[in-house]
Amino acid sequence: GCVLVVSVIEQLAQWHNSTVKAATERLCNYIPGKYQIIHHMLICIDREMNADVVCHSLKLCKQDPGQPLCHLYPPPKVRKHSPGLFYALAHAGQKCQIKSFMGFSSVCAFPLLANLCEKIKYVIRNKLPFEDFDGDKFSTFPTLRGYHWRGRDCNDKNTTVYPGRRPDNWDVKSDSNCNGIWGVDPKDGIPYEEKFCKGADSQGVVLLGDSAGAHFHIPPEWMTVTQMSAKSFANLPMAFTDELDWPQFSEITGFLNSTIGGWTDSLYLRLRRRNRCNHRDLQNISQNGMLTAYLSFSLARNQLLDNPAIVIYATIGNDVCNGNRDTLTHMTTPKEMLSNVVQALRYLDSRLPNGSHVILTGLVDGRFLWDNLHDRYHPLGQLNRDITYSQLYSFLDCLQVSPCSGWLTPNETLRNLTSERALQLSNVLKEIARSEKFANFDIFYMDFPLRQTAEEWHKMGGEPWQLIEPIDGFHPSQIAAALGTSITWQKALHEWPQVLGKENPFNDQIEAVFKDQGGH
């Protein structure tokens, strides 16, 4: 964290030809008020000291006994017989009167952030909305696991009103399922919900996934000084309270127009277009770092009262991805995968209404990442052409915080072994879909469509690296998410048409009636 912040400050000073102090003030002024933690930092920077030197000097970075000295930048050029970075650190310590410093792990001790940190801990732990007054697992607040993650509640004071339920008495008097369709047609006395949605195969979409499904994204303009302004950080509070995830633009449950590049296309939007009665029936139950072994479910579905759902089960990488030095021994085994997934499916069978569907998604082949990024400059390295993705991956691996030591490595053998294990786990999922039977849902398998996505993007004139998040160099980008939706949809149309339900012939009438009535 320190190295990233100090790098940005140094580059701001360079780009604006200012002092480091002026650059620090500039960055602080860009960041919304209560997030200006950086003001509390003792920044001790001059032109001779790179971010590694500064952060070790401030004791924000340290070298553990017996561990290598981790650095993002090449060691600074110093005297002929001095030991590089070690000399620079000692020199910096003498030059700046280093005081004890509260590390980044303690930012929650700042009074203005303490309450927010507690909220975030709560939602991460429970994967439930922080603001949910009636306890039905749906909210009228967007972030903190609110309606960016699940359909928006239309009455947060009534636990029987929420997205996805079957209408109560055809919603004659009020909208019990929050799809915006309620009341009675004055022309014939038939409730609109009965007229438009009866027999329409209404169903919701649920994602059980990891950071890719949650749509992890760090805006490049936060670290690219040539693009940086106060507008760059306007979305920081929202991003922070959504765990740096953007489920509202994601491949499965996205419903808002993307503000982070690309465009939004999602399984939810396509199901909604197919049947307008599906409005708001979405749940994104994903978490950064989620493995199949730790999928704790906060599914909101009542077998007796609610519509069926399409559940996408997609942990596409974390079962082979970890930051450990001996990464292979920490990967999920095929036997563990079988046990974890069958246990999860049994849970779903106890919660999903009859007539639901489950789609198991295979793991990605992450060799795509190194092959297309390793020699490109990271956004932090574009100004001075001094940091490649290969350097970033090595830095994170040294710190043992790499999102995937098995794929983000120059070791080709290790990359191949990681993909081999991913294929083994995908084959477990394929066999489960072939052989297991459940009472309340049928089950399907599909490969993660990376190859088809890359081919489609190439036809559109794009480059493969544009399918990867630029800051972390690991997650699918907004473009990849949107293209993936189209490929998944086409596969379902041709191979499992029963999953998508039939097209509602009343869609245009629904829009016309409720637009005229000022409905949502």
Which residues of 219-347 form beta strands (DSSP E)? 282-286, 309-314
Q: Which amino acid does the sequence have at 206?
A: V
Alpha-carbon distance 414 to 409, whole Å?
8
Instruction: Write the DSSP symbol of residue 176.
Output: S
419 is catalytic: no
In Å, how far are 318, 346, 450 from 98, measured between CA atoms? Answer: 39, 57, 49
Task: Measure the CA–CA gap between 251 and 245, rounded to whole angstroms.
Answer: 12
CA distances from 440 to 304, 307, 309, 352, 490 (A): 12, 12, 10, 7, 25
DSSP label of 302: -
- Cα angle 232, 128, 480; round to 5: 50
Distance in angstroms (rounded) separating the CA atoms of residues 210 and 426: 16
Q: Please state whether beta strands 356-361 and 282-286 pair in parallel, antiparallel, or not at all (unpaired).
A: unpaired
Pairing of β 309-314 and β 282-286 = unpaired
Contacts of 36 (CB under 8 A, 6+ apart): 28
**Alpha carbon separation from 299 to 128, 285, 352, 358, 495 (Å, rounded):** 9, 7, 9, 14, 27
3 state SS of 99 = coil
Query: 485 burial class (0-12, 13-18, 19+ CB within 10 angstroms)?
Result: buried
Question: Token match 């915080």: residue?
Answer: 401
487: exposed, middle or buried (Cβ count in 10 Å: 0-12, 13-18, 19+): middle
CB 305 within 8 A of CB 200: no
3 state SS of 19: coil
CA-derived radius of gyration, the chain? 25
Tokens of residue 32, six digits: 């919304």
**Can you read off the two tokens belonging to residue 147?**
């309606």
Out of 139, 202, 211, 258, which one is annotated catalytic? 211
| Residue recorded with tokens 């600074």 | 76
Cα separation, 344 vs 101, whole angstroms: 44
As given in the structure block, the two tokens for residue 327 are 């990464």
Length of the chain: 520
Cite the active site residues. 211
